[in-house]
Amino acid sequence: MFQPNNQLPVQTIKDSSALMQVDQTEKSIVVRDEKQNGGFAHAETIIYYSKRLQDDLQMLGMKIKGHEDNIKFLNAQNNKLDDLILDLQVTLGKHHGSSTPKIEIENHSQLQTEDQTTELILQHEKSAAGILCQLKARHGPQASHLQLTKDVLGIVATLGKVDDDNLSRLFSEYLGLETMLAIVCKTYEGVKALETYDKQGCINKSSGLHALGATIGRNMDGRFLVICLENIIPYAGEFVADDPQRRLDLVKPKLPNGECPPGFLGFAVNMINVDNANLFCVTASGHGLRETLFYNLFSRLQVYRTRQDMVSALPCISDGAVSLDGGMIRSTSVFSLGDREDVDVKFPKPLVTSTLPEKHIEAERQVKEVRWKKEKMQDDIQREQALLNHAKFNFDRKKQEFLKFLAESSSYVTQAAPVTPR
């Protein structure tokens, strides 16, 4: 029974995809044909079924009241979220108006900028990543609203930045060009939109990315990777406290003597810089890119100063390691030897960096989080409304059944009533 004074356990709301199917527990009561000589066997039967129908109606009425109260509660919470978003936007406006963010211009000509990364992706003309970048270059922000691409978050190479050019080269080589050009989608529905198939299982070249490529004169060739964020098992540990980048609080490796290996610089997943917009609530479950995409790609890949440091740390390397002088271990049993392979598509670093106040960054994070909560609240309201409509449908059906039963019972009583002699 719904308790209006208690907080609504929204997460217990069930899927409503088949709501219009009548509940098995609320099937119409079929009055048995227990007639003798054209009438009911016992008058008690009428009373019993009448009481049962009235109880069913009362129960359905309580369900309707409960769903109505739930919707009222959810709408009130939704309005509070709207007010909170407005307050946070006012805070952001004050930050913008009171002080101009400090801008630092860095002259690192060897570093690859975001525009340069995009240009290098475009050079892979027949790749899925190249076609998407071409679409964005032609149509700008409108490209993200197309049915085909609305669920696409971006290309792996464009979703992270690395401060050091040498590290960027190492990480790009470790992942490989195919992964660097992988398309990242938020949901599996977005993955399915990129490529469709006919009844024989062959690719339908008249839809999806294949059709898009043909329209801009770039016919796709070969396979391409697509990463689905909602299917990734995210990092389940803690985050570094008070870190605006929400780096993962990973336990440092330790040698058998209990000491951290000499030359250990950190974990690759924490050396990727993620845009503020992608730090929170990228997935429906509220996770950001670091704990999903980049943790999936790098796991606990360790970074060392030299090859010698890396080899000395072998006893405590579980998920691979790289060193600044080009060493690479894929796993505890797979070593990458030989000369470096220079992957042209690398993680960029912008030439212009802004140092915003921490309060400003925190306000932006809160706006992102509250908007995500608001989206989830809207989904809960829609599900609760569907449950309310279902309860009303069953109530109306049961009401008609009750009225029909009363009419039949009235007819029986009239027929069975003794005739008073004059």
Alpha helix stretches (DSSP H) within 229-357: 295-298, 307-312
What are the chain's domains? 36-101+362-422 (1.10.287), 102-355 (no CATH)
Confidence of residue 420 (pLDDT cuts 50, 70, 90): low
> How far is 328 from 320, CA to CA, in rounded Å?
8
Listed in sequence order, the residues at least 6 apart from 121 whose beta carbon sits closer than 8 Å to its beta carbon are 127, 129, 130, 133, 155, 157, 158, 181, 345
**173, 328 Cβ separation under 8 angstroms:** yes
Picking from 155-169, 228-242, 284-298, 391-405, which range would have the lowest pLDDT averaged per residue?
Answer: 391-405
Structure tokens at 288: 């950001």
**Confidence (pLDDT) at 413:** 57
**Confidence (pLDDT) at 81:** 77
Task: Measure Cα distances from 165 to 86, 123, 175, 217 in Å.
Answer: 40, 21, 15, 34
**Confidence (pLDDT) at 107:** 39
Structure tokens at 197: 């198939």
Has residue 36 got a pLDDT over 50? no
Has residue 46 got a pLDDT over 80? no
Q: Quick one: what percent of the chain has pLDDT higher than 70?
A: 74
Listed in sequence order, the residues at least 6 apart from 233 whose beta carbon sits closer than 8 Å to its beta carbon are none
Compute the Cα dihedral for 132, 137, 139, 145 and give only its sign: positive
**Confidence (pLDDT) at 35:** 43
Output the DSSP codes for 270-291: GSSB--GGGTS--STTS--TII
Global pTM reads 0.61
Mean pLDDT over residues 206-235, rounded? 86
> How far is 168 from 345, CA to CA, in rounded Å?
10
Q: Is 413 helix (H, G, I), strand (E, B) or coil?
A: helix
Has residue 244 got a pLDDT over 50? yes
**147, 193 Cβ separation under 8 angstroms:** yes
Q: Kindly report, residue by residue over 2-34, the tens digit of the pLDDT.
A: 444 444 444 434 444 444 444 444 444 444 444
Q: Kindly report, residue by residue over 87-130, the tens digit of the pLDDT.
A: 666 665 554 444 444 434 343 444 467 778 888 888 887 888 88
> How far is 265 from 253, CA to CA, in rounded Å?
11
CB 16: neighbour CB atoms within 10 A? 15
Residue 326: phi and psi, rounded to 5, are 100, 0
| Residue entry with tokens 């980049």 | 294
Mean pLDDT over residues 69-73, rounded? 87
Burial class of residue 182 (count of CB atoms within 10 Å of its CB; 0-12, 13-18, 19+):
buried
Task: Measure Cα distances from 139 to 132, 136, 143, 250 in Å.
Answer: 11, 5, 5, 41
Q: What angle do CA 109, 113, 116 make, to 5 degrees?
A: 105
Mean pLDDT over residues 369-383, rounded? 78
Picking from 39-43, 232-236, 266-270, 355-359, which range would have the lowest pLDDT averaged per residue?
Answer: 39-43
Output the DSSP codes for 124-157: STTSHHHHHHHHHHHHGGGGGGSTTTTTEEEEGG
**Confidence (pLDDT) at 108:** 42
Q: Kindly report, residue by residue over 311-364, the tens digit of the pLDDT.
A: 999 999 989 999 999 999 987 778 788 777 777 888 887 454 445 556 666 667
Picking from 78-82, 223-227, 304-308, 360-364, which range would have the lowest pLDDT averaged per residue?
Answer: 360-364
> How far is 293 from 154, CA to CA, in rounded Å?
12
Burial class of residue 67 (count of CB atoms within 10 Å of its CB; 0-12, 13-18, 19+):
buried
Has residue 380 got a pLDDT over 80? yes
> How far is 294 from 119, CA to CA, in rounded Å?
23
Has residue 296 got a pLDDT over 90? yes
Query: Assign residue 293 a region: left if phi > 0, alpha if psi is -120 to 50, beta otherwise?
Result: alpha
**Confidence (pLDDT) at 98:** 45
Q: Is 29 helix (H, G, I), strand (E, B) or coil?
A: coil
Q: Kindly report, residue by residue over 147-189, the tens digit of the pLDDT.
A: 788 889 999 999 999 988 889 999 999 999 999 999 999 999 9
Has residue 300 got a pLDDT over 60? yes
Query: Assign residue 37 a region: left if phi > 0, alpha if psi is -120 to 50, beta otherwise?
Result: left
> How far is 207 from 195, CA to CA, in rounded Å?
7
Specify the higher pLDDT residue, 2 or 193.
193
**Confidence (pLDDT) at 186:** 92
Q: Quick one: what percent of the chain has pLDDT higher than 90?
A: 24
- The DSSP H or E segment spanning 354 is strand 352-355
Has residue 76 got a pLDDT over 70? yes
